[in-house]
Amino acid sequence: MTEAKISCRNLWKLYGAGADEFLKQHSGKPSTEALRAGNYVSAVRDVSLDIMPGQILVVMGLSGSGKSTLLRCLARLVEPTAGEVIFEGQNLLKATEAEMIELRRHKMGMVFQNFALLPHRTVLENVAFPLQVQGMNRRQREDRAREVVELVGLKGRESYYPRQLSGGQQQRVGIARSLAVGPDVWFLDEPFSALDPLIRREMQDEFLRLQQMLSKTIVFITHDFGEAIRVADRIAIMKDGLVEQLGTAEELVTCPATPYVAEFTREISRDQFLSVSSAMTPAKGRRPLDGAIKLQARLVDVARQVLSSDDPVDVVDDNGLLVGALSRPAVINALYGKELCP
């Protein structure tokens, strides 16, 4: 099994006086009532998750649900109250401040909602800045910055100042800057939330294009479920510091674990996600019949064929081996039935 690139275990961030003592007194698991009685804000509450290399984890939730705090705890920009953060097998909470600075400088890239560019530096200087901080000489860092500026589609604008760029272009600079050091992990905190819907969509495409080339391990925060669906491998939904559910978009839409998750996913029609695998009955041990459909096909794309067949249609994997059968009632139930939870 591959090792997670970054994980956290029973991670807590409480705001309030004597938070670590309070957690210990409650054996690391205080109740909601105890937290309230003690006047603590539980920004991150007992969160455990793994992000595999090359995966995009999206963290979603309303404003104040703890998304930014969780992300900042993973980079230890905010000091967790308790728990573990494991990066490439190393417990970050045991690292010294100097080790953390090195790690952030070389292995972590960050993009923020407000772009956070240096106003009196050009595009090229902004992008080269993290390399300057690393101590790279001018020639080398400008060469590298030019490469990344081109990567994000801003070639020709190297000597512009941030104020001479549109919001979308400014965030491209932010993205280029975060990629300049060639980070392993890429943290994006609502990177497109300040942009107009059309530009936003364009930036999502751009982000996915970059990720296809770069295969970073990513934590991406958004409060927009549509955006989450477009970019995520998996989605964690946060409320009051808790991860209410963590799963694929398909899992969240078809089987929300809590009313809060259901509320987020209500507007999304499930047929854009459902795959044959979620509706079929397993089968094996014989040759598939003619007209077999693929396991990974979307249900909507094969619905016509299955609905017009009196018998269940065979389902095969990538190697053409029989893995199941899909019946007419199963398709109808998957697309229009109420309950899909296992």
Contacts to Mg ion by CB under 5 A: 68
How many Cα atoms within 13 Å fall on the side-chain side of residue 111? Answer: 28
Select 51 or 243, whichever has its Cβ closest to ligand ADP. Answer: 243
In the complex, the smallest distance separating the C-beta of residue 41 from ligand ADP, rounded to whole angstroms, is 5
14, 23 Cβ separation under 8 angstroms: yes
Answer with the entry of ligand ADP, Mg ion, none that 217 interacts with (C-beta below 5 to 8 A by kind): none
Select 54 or 64, whichever has its Cβ closest to ligand ADP. Answer: 64
Question: Which residues lie closer than 8 Å to 207 by C-beta, 6 or more apart?
Answer: 175, 188, 191, 192, 231
Q: How far apart are CA 31 and CA 265, in angstroms?
A: 28
For 182, the token pair is 């060639």
Select 68 or 204, whichever has its Cβ closest to ligand ADP. Answer: 68
Answer with the entry of Mg ion, ligand ADP, none that 38 interacts with (C-beta below 5 to 8 A by kind): none
Q: How far apart are CA 299 and CA 279, in angstroms?
A: 8
In the complex, the smallest distance separating the C-beta of residue 63 from ligand ADP, rounded to whole angstroms, is 4
Show contacts with ligand ADP in window 209-268 (CB under 6 A): none
Question: Which residues lie closer than 8 Å to 143 by C-beta, 6 or more apart?
Answer: none
Select 68 or 170, whichever has its Cβ closest to Mg ion. Answer: 68
Answer with the entry of Mg ion, ligand ADP, none that 43 interacts with (C-beta below 5 to 8 A by kind): ligand ADP
Amino acid at 248: T
In the complex, the smallest distance separating the C-beta of residue 69 from ligand ADP, rounded to whole angstroms, is 3
Show contacts with ligand ADP in window 304-323 (CB under 6 A): none
Answer with the entry of ligand ADP, Mg ion, none that 41 interacts with (C-beta below 5 to 8 A by kind): ligand ADP
The SS3 call for residue 317 is: coil
In the complex, the smallest distance separating the C-beta of residue 125 from Mg ion, rounded to whole angstroms, is 28
Please report the DSSP string for 194-255 in residue order: TS-HHHHHHHHHHHHHHHHHH--EEEEEES-HHHHHHH-SEEEEEETTEEEEEE-HHHHHHS
Phi and psi at residue 70, to the nearest 5°: -60, -50
When binding is defined by CB under 6 A, the residue of 68, 122, 178, 254 that contacts ligand ADP is 68
In the complex, the smallest distance separating the C-beta of residue 73 from ligand ADP, rounded to whole angstroms, is 9
Site size with ligand ADP, rule: CB under 6 A: 11
Interaction between residue 15 and ligand ADP (CB under 6 A): yes
Handedness of CA 296, 301, 306, 309 (dihedral sign): negative
Please report the DSSP string for 125-165 in residue order: HHHHHHHHHHT--HHHHHHHHHHHHHHTT-TT-TT--GGGS
In the complex, the smallest distance separating the C-beta of residue 68 from ligand ADP, rounded to whole angstroms, is 3
Q: Kind and range of the H or E element at 116? A: none
Q: How far apart are CA 278 and CA 255, in angstroms?
A: 11
In the complex, the smallest distance separating the C-beta of residue 20 from Mg ion, rounded to whole angstroms, is 24
Answer with the entry of Mg ion, ligand ADP, none that 324 interacts with (C-beta below 5 to 8 A by kind): none
Answer with the entry of ligand ADP, Mg ion, none that 61 interacts with (C-beta below 5 to 8 A by kind): ligand ADP
Select 36 or 120, whichever has its Cβ closest to ligand ADP. Answer: 36
Show contacts with ligand ADP in window 38-67 (CB under 6 A): 41, 43, 61, 63-67
Select 148 or 261, whichever has its Cβ closest to ligand ADP. Answer: 261
In the complex, the smallest distance separating the C-beta of residue 114 from ligand ADP, rounded to whole angstroms, is 13
Residue 324 CB neighbour total at 10 angstroms = 23
Q: Which residue ranges make up the site for ligand ADP (CB under 6 A)?
A: 15, 41, 43, 61, 63-69
